[in-house]
Amino acid sequence: MPTTAFSNHFRRELDVGQLARLMLWDTPEASEDHLSEAQRAWIRTDVRCSSCGVGGAQIVRATKSTGTRGGTRQAHFRFIGDDAMDAHHRFCEFHGADGQERQSESLVNFGSAKTIETRLIGRLVCKGIEQGIFDQTAIRGMRQWFFDLKAANRFTITINSTAVDWLSALLRHPIYPRWVFHPVQAQLPGFDWKQATNHAFTEQFWPLFDHMSGRRLRNAESRTKHLVACYAGQEVFDPAALKPSYELTLQLASFVGRNSGLDFSRSKPSEYRWKGAPPALMALCALILFVSDWQLNAAIGKFAQIMAAPAPSDPLLGNVVGLNPFHDYAAWQMVVLAQEISEQPTGIRVYDAELARIEAELREAYRAWTQRQS
Ligand SMILES: [Zn+2]
């Protein structure tokens, strides 16, 4: 249930109460209960889902539970089509969510001062809005861009967590230096069978390591398993479509982190790729790139303009919710890679069992070899 939605007329994200007060500005103490039928009809054409952009917004009144379990529900928007069914696009995060509190984890509240990064970014967002570089319509446009990308690029999850275990083990496996076993090597008194087993594993599964080359991402194993468990058998967003914008956003975030003089104390720009950048910074960088047609230097120019602008006169302007489209990007990439690896001729294996098998094979090869020598 989206508690807020986007008003095309007021050009911003509003909850039911805020929308009613704006529409009934001449009636003090007005609430959504005072809206006329005509005003409600107007809302159905004006207010859009913040994610998929569908219209048909109806106001669902707040309810107070009479039972002992509490459970009051805030007034919210419900999007209903002509067929009286849920009007959200079937890939919209709000589809089928009516009655459930669901907040997209990709959203970043620029107005919250929870971390130093968010406070710093919140000020920049204020300035950016005051300077006319972006506004809530741009944020809404970016959410629609992200939604359309998600809806157009899908794949079906066919794996389960064993495929993620297999991929994680492969990613952890030390592949260098490469070394080929020969039984003669095991004649040395301190021959290390474990090491030899690791080397032989690398050689046996080399096509997989080759396939994964250049696709190592920060470790997101538990999150990857969570996604696989949640969406098993379902059609989901293929993150490959985000790669160009992800790379640009990461470049801009790292550049800004290094060159803006802003103190993102806890994170190092050089480690953003491996450890993750502050979500608020990623959200702001993505927004500036979005309004710059994804041109890196145009975006840097806008960033410079924001940094040079005077302190914001209205600090509340930054009280908006932005989108970090790259939340979970690493985990989704891992899902895709785990699925690709599972489709290789070697299928899905259990790492420890493979090591045990290989060690037994090496020892048997050595035994047969020594027999032939005598
Ligand atoms: Zn929607």
What length does the chain have? 374
Give the Å distance between the CA of 227 and the centre of ligand 1: 21
Measured at the CA of 345, the angle between CA 339 and CA 351, to 5 degrees, comes to 70
Helix residue ranges, H only, 156-278:
161-172, 193-204, 206-212, 221-231, 243-259, 272-275
Give the Å distance between the CA of 342 and the centre of ligand 1: 34
**End-to-end CA, the chain:** 78
Give the Å distance between the CA of 35 and the centre of ligand 1: 23
Separation CA 158–CA 369 (nearest Å): 43
Strands 76-79, 57-60: pairing kind: antiparallel
Give the Å distance between the CA of 254 and the centre of ligand 1: 32
CA distances from 280 to 178, 181, 273, 284 (A): 42, 50, 15, 6
Judged by DSSP in three states, 12 sits in: strand
Q: Which residues pair with 237 in a beta bridge?
A: 154
Give the Å distance between the CA of 5 and the centre of ligand 1: 9
Give the Å distance between the CA of 52 and the centre of ligand 1: 4
Give the Å distance between the CA of 228 and the centre of ligand 1: 23
Residues 6+ apart with CB under 8 A from 361: 200
Give the Å distance between the CA of 204 and the centre of ligand 1: 48
Give the Å distance between the CA of 102 and the centre of ligand 1: 12
Give the Å distance between the CA of 17 and the centre of ligand 1: 20
pLDDT at 2: 61
Give the Å distance between the CA of 288 and the centre of ligand 1: 24
What is the mean pLDDT, run by run of 10 residues, along the chain of 374 residues?
83 90 86 91 94 92 65 82 87 72 73 78 92 94 94 94 96 93 96 97 96 80 92 91 94 92 76 85 95 98 96 82 89 94 96 98 97 89
Give the Å distance between the CA of 95 and the centre of ligand 1: 6
pLDDT at 101: 46
Return the DSSP state at 95.
T
pLDDT at 65: 61
Q: Which residues pair with 155 in a beta bridge?
A: 236
Residues 6+ apart with CB under 8 A from 336: 155, 238, 239, 240
pLDDT at 374: 80
Separation CA 146–CA 52 (nearest Å): 9
CA distances from 349 to 53, 194, 345, 357 (A): 44, 19, 11, 11
Give the Å distance between the CA of 6 and the centre of ligand 1: 11
Give the Å distance between the CA of 127 and the centre of ligand 1: 29
Q: Is the ipTM of this complex over 0.85?
A: yes
Give the Å distance between the CA of 88 and the centre of ligand 1: 4
Give the Å distance between the CA of 99 and the centre of ligand 1: 14
Give the Å distance between the CA of 147 and the centre of ligand 1: 9
